[in-house]
Amino acid sequence: MTKFGTVFKQGGKKALLCGSGELGKEVAIELQRLGIEVIALDKYENAPAMQVAHKSYVVSMLDGEKLREIISTEKPDYIIPEVEAIATKTLVELEKEGYNVIPTARATFLTMNREGIRRLAAEELGIKTSEYRFAATHDGFVDAVKAVGIPCVVKPIMSSSGHGQSVIKSESDIENAWKIAQEGGRAGAGKVIVEAFVKFDYEITLLTVRHKGGTSFLEPIGHWQKDGDYQESWQPQPTTPEVLQKAQQIAEKITTALGGYGIFGVEMFVSGNDVIFSEVSPRPHDTGMVTMISQDLSEFALHVRAILGLPIPNIAFHGPSASKAVVVSGDSDHVTFENLEEALNIPDTQIRIFGKPEVHDHRRMAVLLARGNDIDDARRKVQEMYSKLKIEI
Ligand code: AMP
């Protein structure tokens, strides 16, 4: 039987969030709702999840020693990663010492870079992916492009949100693609993946939750990306029964291999009746923010239920919905959002403002959410909300 004691007292449960962005903030709120103590970590002060946590630490989560020090002091019942950039080797050690890493330390280790997860999916599990090669040197990269063929997509193996990613459309793009990847990778210069360009009809995130009662799939989420970063998502993305079945089989296979309890964002490309695996995150997914309006239990609530070993007997879906990221450009530490009254005067709409303390260059600062009669209607509503919203930097 599950037992939660009183927060701050013996018997109370404690969760430590590695990463305090907008997704972590929603996870923190869901944990708080169940009376779990929340400790939030990130590399800067006042990160979104820190603003709703009981306690926080400013730390580089890539620093294994510091991470271990905090975890030894706090002794959390659950260690919940929100980002890829964590000292995952330390998580593997901590798990061996008895800590509960969500979903598993191996899952965080394998998905920390594109190589681990691609090799697991394509080479061990035989899941269909695009053609690919890895390269760590310039010469190796040129050979990889030749082997994969043009057009192809180049990505640093350690990157997210489109940083360092580019498409080679002709030979003249090769040198520049290498330069972009070397400048944009998370850990500085390094290895890249060269992937054949997939001419997909649409792409989906199939949120998959592994919980005590088994594996459940959410309605597929469609999305569009600009420069490798999500701009809009909607749910449900219409598919054929064959595509849905294939997508669920892939999701089941990869999430079973990663193991543990929690939600996974499985990203796939769909071309005709072909389903091609792209990548998986063992945590809530940014395109899944739409579930804050489309479902009774959002992806964050489901993640928390699964982690805590609570049942998920059903996932109530409220109907066609959409989300739109509000990306602010410029340099400011006092962004203001105006005209919310008009934006929210449209029925069945919501907004989440993340409370990020500042923006440099460009940053996702909020998300607009809407339910509609159909997907087009929901997408039209978030566009209309966006046109009403005024942002001052
Ligand atoms: P990723 O960071 O791997 O999720 O890539 C971000 C986005 O870039 C994807 O959601 C796609 O829209 C696009 N993309 C990535 N890889 C490919 C590919 N091999 N072929 C075509 N588009 C891709």
Of 55, 12, 9, residue with least CA distance to 36:
12
Q: How far is the CA of 22 from the centre of ligand 1 (A)?
A: 22
Neighbours of 146 (CB within 10 A): 12
- 228 pocket-lining for ligand 1 (C-beta < 6 Å): yes
162 sits in the region (left: phi over 0; alpha: psi -120 to 50; else beta) called left
- Provide the pLDDT for residue 387: 98
Residue 187 — pLDDT band, cuts 50, 70, 90?
Answer: low
**22-38, pLDDT tens digit by residue?**
999 999 999 999 999 99
- Provide the pLDDT for residue 368: 98
Cα gap 325→322, rounded to integer Å: 10
Residue 228 — pLDDT band, cuts 50, 70, 90?
Answer: confident
**275-308, pLDDT tens digit by residue?**
999 999 999 999 999 999 999 999 999 999 999 9
Closest atom of ligand 1 to 223 CA is 10
**CATH 3.30.1490.20 in the chain, residues?**
131-196
Q: What's the burial of 279, exposed, middle or buried (CB within 10 Å: 0-12/13-18/19+)?
A: middle
What single DSSP character describes residue 129?
B
**244-257, pLDDT tens digit by residue?**
999 999 999 999 99
**87-145, pLDDT tens digit by residue?**
999 999 999 999 999 999 999 999 988 999 999 999 999 999 999 999 999 999 999 99
Q: How far is the CA of 153 from the centre of ligand 1 (A)?
A: 8
Q: How far is the CA of 205 from the centre of ligand 1 (A)?
A: 12
**CATH 3.30.470.20 in the chain, residues?**
202-392
- Provide the pLDDT for residue 84: 87
Annotated catalytic residue, options 64, 116, 162, 190: 162
**267-277, pLDDT tens digit by residue?**
999 999 999 99
Q: Which tokens sit at 119? A: 């090799």
Active site residue 115: no
Neighbours of 157 (CB within 10 A): 23
What b/e sequence results for 327-343 when a residue is b if at least 16 CB atoms lie within 10 Å of its CB, and e otherwise? Answer: bbeeebeebebeeeeeb
Domain 131-196 class in CATH: alpha beta
Helix, strand, or coil here: 314?
coil
- Provide the pLDDT for residue 85: 87
Active site residue 12: no
Residue-averaged pLDDT of the chain:
95
Fold of the domain built from segment(s) 14-101: Rossmann fold (3.40.50)
- 82 pocket-lining for ligand 1 (C-beta < 6 Å): no
- Provide the pLDDT for residue 185: 66
Fold of the domain built from segment(s) 202-392: D-amino Acid Aminotransferase; Chain A, domain 1 (3.30.470)
Of 337, 338, 318, 327, residue with least CA distance to 378:
318
Active site residue 90: no
- 20 pocket-lining for ligand 1 (C-beta < 6 Å): no
**CATH 3.40.50.20 in the chain, residues?**
14-101
Per-residue pLDDT, averaged over 200-214, amounts to 98
pLDDT over 60 at 188, yes or no: no
Per-residue pLDDT, averaged over 375-379, amounts to 98
Per-residue pLDDT, averaged over 146-165, amounts to 90
Per-residue pLDDT, averaged over 344-356, amounts to 98
Q: CB–CB of 187/157 below 8 Å?
A: no
Neighbours of 213 (CB within 10 A): 12
Helix, strand, or coil here: 368?
strand
379-to-231, 232, 256, 324, 347 alpha-carbon distances in Å: 11, 8, 33, 8, 13
